[in-house]
Chain A
Amino acid sequence: MITLPLTSVLLTATPLTATHLTAGSLIGIWVSIFLTLAIFSFLYEDNPIYKLAEHIFLGISIAIGATEIYYGVFKPNLIDKLAEGRLLSIIPLILLVMLLLKMTKKFDYMAKVPIAFIVAAFAGVKLTGEANANLMTQVAQSMPNLPEVYREHGIWSWDADGAGVFSSIFLVLGLCACLLHFYFSAKQTKSMAVVSKIGIIVLMLSFGASFGYTVMGRISLAIGRAQELLGLDKPPIDVTITSGGDPINRMSLVRMISFGTLILVIVFLAVWQKRRTQSEE
């Protein structure tokens, strides 16, 4: 067991030397807080502030994606090479034009060639990896070496999260039951029905574990935003806003901005709701 002084996680020893917070950084903090609260406002109801944040997010995502693709793919792999006079690069350019012809009615059949090329290349790249690393290795691992497992963990080891002979046998039986559940060509006898039911239970356990992890992931994201809104996303540090001004704790500053923005969002929602109700009447 590791015991940590968790209170000190929030109140770390000595703050570092005060650094000057530029207007840009200050605006950056506010924008981040405002957009977070704007997105969270959807939990109350779909509203204009949420829509604004959603559109900003979408626009920026597309802009970054397009820029990255231009500078990461088109420029080094096509434009630069053509500029250097490497004529073989005309082939991908032709394939690209053929792919774009998909948007026309007259020549859309020409897009089949680059699509076939993409599918074949993708299948080729994926197939070897899937067959070797996923199928073969995982099937081999599904058959545990019981004497070795017993030597290492015994029947059941609490220290190793339940590893042991019992878990290994459960794994093999559960795997077989799952496979038999999807074996549709066999006649559904009573014994097959029992095995199939066991298979369903094992599948449910697996889905439950995955769902649990998914919930954990979503809560983690919410915690991340809460840490940022409360100024706990950076080490404790003093900052100055005006040059030569008194230093202020960054965490306190962020909390003040968060609180102010929260009030702003709540007031906006109240006004918006009131006006909407009036217009409906």
Chain B
Amino acid sequence: MYQLLKRFQSMDRRWVFLGMALAIVIPTLYPVHFPTKVDERVQSLYDRIDQLEAGDTVFVSADFDPASRPELEPFFRANLHHMFSRDVNIVIGSLWPFAPPLVTPMIEDLATQHGGVYGEDYAFLGFKLGNELAIKMIGDDILKAFPVDSRENVTADLPIMSGIRQAQDFELIVSVSAGFPGTREYVLQIQGQYDLEIASSTTAVSTPDYVPFYKAGQLFGLAGGMPGSAHYEQLVYRDYPVEGVRMMATQALDVLNLGHLYIIILIVFGNIAFFLTREVEE
């Protein structure tokens, strides 16, 4: 027993990686059904967006890159689907240079599915460099921040932008944020100053930092990491399966549970092995 525990402690780390690969691939191929409970923060986000009326305009800040795509793409897609299906006008911008090539196909895909007309039902203003200063500009004068959209149209000439001059003119702001600049900067720079309603979808790593913003009412909703995206998907696509839609975060949630279980087992066994072998050695 002592030898076995000792071998377990000095096991080649590559076996741990192989175990993790299996813990991810097997449930991805053969899903196990775990019941889930929608998080209150995601429910709040969903409810507020569900209250929007046709013709309301929402600004979505797509601030993510390929590295955070698995966590945030499902939310981004579900969020656009949710708003398109309610005839809400969507204006999208980005503060991350890698976001435009990533989100443009998603936006076009969703717009085509819902018959959205560019410039009237939705618009993508493209990328704006400048981090906090860019956010300040969005707060003060969005037409100055994005003088032309991603298709080189003059932003002020787009029908969707009529009556919109600054962030305050949007009904809501949804920040899909993978880090800096993102939700935190929106809250610090313009949320309080203009009393804006902001919701956030963020990576798991950033979630603990943003929970205090939600608790303080600075965010009206928060979808954190893969579970947040999965819960939002489950609220939006209630009548799943829908043709042409794959709920990526939902299918990943089971896998996430088993991945965590694998790590917990390793931690528990590692500690047991450590303490038992130490006792024997002493």
- Bound pair: A and B? yes
Q: Which residues of A contact B (CB under 8 A)?
A: 1-10, 12-14, 16, 43-44, 64-65, 68-69, 72-73, 125-126, 129-130, 132-134, 137-138, 140-141, 159-161, 206, 209-210, 213-217, 219-227, 230, 232-236
CB–CB A4/B234 < 8 A: yes
Which residues from 173 to 193 on chain B have a C-beta closer than 8 Å to any C-beta of chain A? 185, 187-189, 191-193
Docked Cα-Cα span, A9 to B253, in Å, equals: 12
Q: 8 nearest interchain CB pairs?
A: A224-B70, A129-B188, A217-B204, A68-B97, A72-B129, A141-B216, A220-B226, A216-B204
Chain B residues with CB under 8 A of A138: 212, 216
Residues of B within 8 A of A (CB): 14, 17, 20, 24-25, 28-29, 31, 33, 35-40, 67, 69-71, 97-98, 127-130, 132-133, 136, 185, 187-189, 191-193, 203-205, 207-208, 212, 215-216, 218, 224-227, 234-235, 240-248, 250-252, 254-256, 259-260, 263
Contacting pair B127 A16 (CB below 8 A): no
Bound Cα distance from A14 to B203, whole angstroms: 32
Tell whether, in the assembled complex, residue A13 and residue B243 are in contact, meaning their CB atoms are under 8 Å apart.
yes
Residue A125 contacts which of B132, B191, B240, B247 (CB distance < 8 angstroms)?
Answer: B132
Contact A224 B17 (CB under 8 A): no
Chain B residue at minimal CB-CB distance from A223: B252
Q: Return B10 CB to nearest CB of chain A, in Å.
A: 18
Which residues from chain A contact B251 at a C-beta distance below 8 Å?
A: 6, 9-10, 227, 232
Q: Which residues of A contact B33 (CB under 8 A)?
A: 4, 6-7
**Residue in B38, B133, B189, B255 whose beta carbon sits within 8 Å of that of A2 in the complex:** B38
B residues less than 8 Å from A222 (CB atoms): 20, 24, 259
Give the dominant DSSP class at B's interface. Answer: helix
* B243 near A214: Cβ-Cβ < 8 Å: no
Q: Are A230 and B252 in contact (CB under 8 A)?
A: no
A6 to B193, CA, bound (A): 44
CB pair B69 A224 closer than 8 Å: yes
Interface centre among B20, B132, B215, B241 (most CB of A within 10 A): B241
Complex contact B127–A217 (CB within 8 A): no
B218 / chain A contacts, CB cutoff of 8 Å: 133, 137
How many Å lie between the Cα of A138 and that of B205 in the bound state? 20
CB distance from B74 to the nearest CB of A (A): 10
Q: In the bound complex, do residue A233 and residue B248 qualify as a contact, i.e. CB atoms below 8 Å apart? A: yes
Q: Max chain B CB contacts within 10 Å: which of A137, A214, A224?
A: A224
Q: Which residues of A contact B208 (CB under 8 A)?
A: 206, 209-210, 213
Q: How near does chain A come to B6, taking the closest CB pair, in angstroms? A: 24
Q: In whole angstroms, what is the CA distance A176 to B14 when docked?
A: 44
Cβ-defined contact, B243 with A14, below 8 A: yes
Q: A1-B37, A6-B251, A216-B256 are in contact. Are A133 and B192 (CB under 8 A)?
A: yes
Identify which of B24, B185, B188 contacts A226 (C-beta below 8 A): B24
A232 and B249 alpha carbons, distance in the complex (Å): 11
Q: How far is the CB of A133 from chain B (nearest CB, A)?
A: 5
If A137-B216, A226-B24 touch, whether A217 touches B250 (CB-CB below 8 Å) is no
Which of B29, B35, B208 has its CB near the most chain A CB atoms (within 10 A)?
B208
Q: A10-B251, A133-B188, A133-B191 are in contact. Are A235 and B245 (CB under 8 A)?
A: yes
Interface pairs (11), CB distance under 8 Å: A4-B33, A9-B250, A213-B205, A216-B226, A217-B204, A219-B24, A219-B263, A220-B203, A220-B226, A232-B246, A235-B244
Chain B neighbourhood of A2, CB < 8 A: 35-38, 234-235
- In the assembled complex, the CB of A2 is this many whole angstroms from the nearest CB of chain B, namely 5
- Kindly report which residue of chain B lies nearest to residue A32, judged by CB atoms: B66
Q: Among A9, A16, A64, A126, point to the contact of B247 (Cβ < 8 A).
A: A9
Complex contact B188–A1 (CB within 8 A) = no
CA distance A235 to B244 in the complex (A): 5
Contact among B14, B216, B248, B259 with A227 in the assembled complex (CB-CB below 8 Å): B248
**With the chains together, A130 CA to B185 CA distance in Å?**
9
On chain A, the residues within 8 Å of B235 by CB distance are 2
Known A141-B215, A219-B260, A227-B28; 4 more pairs at CB < 8 Å? A6-B31, A129-B132, A213-B224, A217-B203
Report A-chain residues with C-beta under 8 Å of the C-beta of B263. Answer: 215, 219
B67 touches which one: A72, A129, A221, A232 (CB < 8 A)?
A: A221
Q: Across the interface, which residues of B come within 8 angstroms of A210, CB to CB?
A: 208
- Determine how close the nearest CB of chain A comes to the CB of B97; give it in whole angstroms: 4
Which chain B residue lies CB-closest to A3?
B35
Q: Do A223 and B70 touch across chains, with their CB atoms under 8 A apart?
A: yes
Across the interface, name the chain B residue whose C-beta is closest to A132.
Answer: B192
Contact B246 A223 (CB under 8 A): no
Contact A223 B216 (CB under 8 A): no
B97 and A72 contact, CB distance less than 8 A:
yes
Chain A neighbourhood of B203, CB < 8 A: 217, 220
Chain A residues within an 8 Å CB radius of B17: 43
Contact of B207 with A213 in the complex, beta carbons under 8 Å: yes
Docked-complex contact A214 and B31, CB < 8 angstroms = no
Give which listed residue, B185, B207, B243, contacts A16 with CB less than 8 A.
Answer: B243
Which residues of chain B come closer than 8 Å to A7, judged between CB atoms? 31, 33
CB nearest neighbor in B for A220:
B226
User: What residue in chain B is nearest A209 (Cβ atoms)?
Assistant: B208
